[in-house]
Amino acid sequence: MQTIDYLVFLTYFIIVAGYGYWIYRRKQKLEASSKDFFLAEGSLTWWAIGASLIASNISAEQFIGMSGEGFFVGIAISVYEWIAAVSLVIIAVYFMPVYLKNHIYTMPQFLTRRYNETAALIMAVFWLFLYVFVNLTSILYLGSVAINGLLGGDSLHPILLCLAVFALIITLGGMKVIGYTDVIQVAVLIIGGLATTYFALTIVADTFGVQGAWSGFSKLMEKAPDHFHMIFDKPGAESSQEDISKYLIVPGILMYAAGQWIVNLNYWGCNQYITQRALGADLNTARTGILFAAFLKLLMPAIVMLPGIAAYVLAKNGDLPELTTKDGAYSAILGFLPSGLKGLSVAALTAAIVASLAGKANSISTIFTLDIYKKYFNAGASEAKLVWIGRITVVAAMIVAVFFTWSDLLGIGGEGGFTFIQKYTGFISPGVFAMFILGMFWKRTTGAAAIAGIFTGFVLSVVFNNYAPGWFGNETWFYTAYPNGQGGYEIPFLICMGLSFFFTVVVMVTMSLAGPRVNPKAFELDKEMFKINASSRILIIGILMILMALYVKFW
């Protein structure tokens, strides 16, 4: 990076920090309200909600992890972004009316209202551990590694501390500051990300003697045709280990049967970190914001995945001899960029990292403060006390994340960033999603069934991911395990999620059938709740038409 790159980056930092401070001062008179601090109740516009959803979602695991998977498996990894767009439509139409009508502010609160205190407490603890030890740590580690690579490779720990402090500055101002600074963050993310992709494609074009970004994209498809298919065939006896390893990550058509939907619907609809942005708004504002985010999700593979394919083609051509791991693909591409643009791209990457860290830290503080501290330690705490407890929790969570990422104690680098997050989040996703979907839409579901679902989903996820091939064999009527290249056999983790979800639902339904026909704590639903206006209908049709065209092109 040259002087102009640092100036561009410094300008980004000053604008975000200055705007955040202005928002904080403007809203300071309401700061004593815990709902204002945690939810920015009633003050986020639809565009702020949509931008905040994307800024919080797109982080180092996408820029670094998904770009790395683009390097390895190609466009098939876009399934996480494109199915997310459909999932957001489902969340906007069916989930948000249930949350908002029942005045739900946190996910444990949903479980308390629908089931019981025990289910809520168990999941609050689950979520806190997941957010701190999987999400917060991986975002911080991957982001630090990426930026460190661009600065010469000798500044990992200072960068890690700077990212943590920057995120703390934003988070301590509350959800209003996070939400509105995310608008700037997502603008920087998209502009810088698209600029990086554009130059990556022009570099490919220049390498092969053609002109223009579009010609560069055509060369990618020509030089790496295997990287432009959404659906992988099931491996056979003649398949290479590389093909099998790709299938373990994106297991063809089977992942659409359950696993991919569980990942996305659970993440976008049953996740405090995400839903928190919309829970303080009215239904129309929340819906419009979520659908706006769905449109942006369709764009994300061009920003976070295409540079990985470009790095693959360049490495295959001998132009990136220093690239030794897939998670280094995005940083390798940034190394080609001209001065000034490199600073903008690093700013885009930093924006994604900081926004995600801030959003995750805010969700950790919300769950701990409202669902554990207030409920079990100080029921009479004042609004000001709750805000301060939330701030202390933010600082504590960030300190823990820094400690565990300082020497990569969790082995995030060895697992591969994107896969690490998806796999370990997947251990609780089947049980959580089963609880939520049955709790919302089947009035017979009982609290006992919900608690059983939590543990059944988790235990089955561990069994299918780690033990099933050894216990039941590599080939059964309901799964196939494949060699993982490390001397063992694995079931693709998305298939594991589908199997865990199926058996968890069977257990919950069986237990609930022994209870009353209508559980006394079931939510009241009516058709009027799910009606959508004309503008939302147009947005939904547009999203689905674009997605259909993408799948027709790249099937």
The pLDDT, as a whole number, for residue 548 is 93
Q: Rounded to whole angstroms, how far apart are CA atoms 449 and 456?
A: 10
Asked if 116 contacts 435 with a C-beta cutoff of 8 angstroms, the reply is no
Query: The tokens 């990457």 sit on which residue?
Result: 349
Q: Rounded to whole angstroms, how far apart are CA atoms 487 and 474?
A: 13
Neighbours of 156 (CB within 10 A): 18
The pLDDT, as a whole number, for residue 426 is 73
The pLDDT, as a whole number, for residue 546 is 93
CATH number, domain with residue 326: 1.20.1730.10
pLDDT tens digits for range 327-376: 778 878 877 778 777 787 777 777 778 877 887 888 888 888 888 888 88
Closest CA to 56 of 356, 343, 319, 278: 356
Average pLDDT for the chain = 83
The pLDDT, as a whole number, for residue 6 is 82
Amino acid at 476: T
The answer as to whether 280 is a domain residue is: yes
Q: Residue 158 belongs to what H/E stretch?
A: helix 156-171
The answer as to whether 276 is a domain residue is: yes
Asked if 327 contacts 417 with a C-beta cutoff of 8 angstroms, the reply is yes
Angle between helices 429-441 and 117-130 (to 10 degrees): 140
Amino acid at 401: A
The answer as to whether 508 is a domain residue is: no
The total number of structural domains in the chain stands at 1
Asked if 278 contacts 290 with a C-beta cutoff of 8 angstroms, the reply is yes
The answer as to whether 516 is a domain residue is: no
Kindly list the distances between the CA atom of residue 432 and the CA atoms of 1, 234, 384, 462, in Å, as whole numbers in the listed order.
44, 29, 32, 15
DSSP secondary structure, 214-248, as one string? HHHHHHHHHH-GGGS-S-PPPP-TT--HHHHHHHH
Q: Which two tokens stand for residue 134?
A: 């999987």
**Beta-carbon-side half-sphere exposure of residue 23 (alpha carbons within 13 Å):** 27
The answer as to whether 120 is a domain residue is: yes
pTM of the model: 0.84
Q: Give every residue of the chain whose pLDDT is below 70, as ranges.
A: 1, 26-43, 60-61, 173-179, 273, 410-423
State the residue range of the domain holding 137. 3-20+33-408
Burial tier of 216 (Cβ tally within 10 Å: 0-12, 13-18, 19+): buried
The pLDDT, as a whole number, for residue 266 is 87
Neighbours of 41 (CB within 10 A): 18
Q: Rounded to whole angstroms, how far apart are CA atoms 104 and 106?
A: 6
DSSP SS3 for 491: coil
DSSP SS3 for 417: helix
Q: Which two tokens stand for residue 486?
A: 């490390």
Beta strands 482-483 and 489-490, pairing class: antiparallel
pLDDT tens digits for range 427-479: 788 888 999 999 999 999 999 999 999 899 999 998 998 889 889 888 888 88
Amino acid at 418: F
The answer as to whether 60 is a domain residue is: yes
DSSP class of residue 292 equals: H
